[in-house]
Structure 1
Amino acid sequence: MSLVPRLMLGFLLVCSTLPATELTNTTPLKQSQDQALDADGNPIALPQEFAPALQYRADEATVAPIKVKAQRSKNHAAAKTTRVVDDAGCRWLHSRMSELRRRLKSETRLADYFHDEMREHQQQWQCLKCDGAGPAAGDHARCGL
């Protein structure tokens, strides 16, 4: 006799010895409602007095607001590039122009190169309309990006 029929026979013998009770939504629970059971069916002791784990009062959590002054851009070109349309070329231009502005403030010997690159990127920025409606279908090729 193979293993599967033996297991089935053993299962049938065990099931036939158990009392048959139909389980429905209207079947009453066999445990009392004032107890809890663990995974093995043993009762768990419930505390009679409850204490909160955290005591919190909202009036203790209030903090005075901090006033922050808005920083204004001194560079007119920087004020133009604050709004960027959702286009990969425009996002790259914005990032590169921000980096060039940062490097131009440091006044290195490469400032002339950075200034020339910045001027070229500003022309591409305006050609692609990165602060407005964004580039049209052929603008990337036409604007040299």
Structure 2
Amino acid sequence: MFNKFASYLSALALAVMLTACATPGQQPGEMDIRTGIIEQINPVQLQSSHHAGVGAVVGGIAGLGLGSLIGAGTGRDVAMVLGTVGGAFAGNEIQKKYDQPVPGQQIIVRTTNGVLISVTQATNPNLFKGQRVYVEGNGDGARVVPR
């Protein structure tokens, strides 16, 4: 009798724990879509999507490869070190040209339930004040698109 009661109690405890761990709301792959009207659009500068340091790493590797082709022995080692340092410096300078800020816009949308939402995204010339829009997603992934 005790074993049967213990197994039922264990099953109940497991069910309660699994229910507590379940996440309410969105399922994976679903996206929030809200509707609203644009109240304000402000121009902003967004950071470049290039990864910092990639130019230096690629340049250093290329310099190492070129330095290894020069000389032999100690002279070759010195050429490899100089090639790595010079390549890293050159790669970093080249990457700086591509790390310029990107034009964007901060869009303030009043949703149909009256809540104000601010979304910062790349510039979309098709958006204007007073336009009916969809706000897709949430958090950093939110985007405003025309209705």
- TM-score for both structures, normalised by structure 2: 0.23
Larger strand share, 1 or 2: 2
- Tell me which of the two structures has the higher relative contact order, counting C-alpha pairs closer than 8 angstroms and 6 or more residues apart: 2
Larger radius of gyration: 1
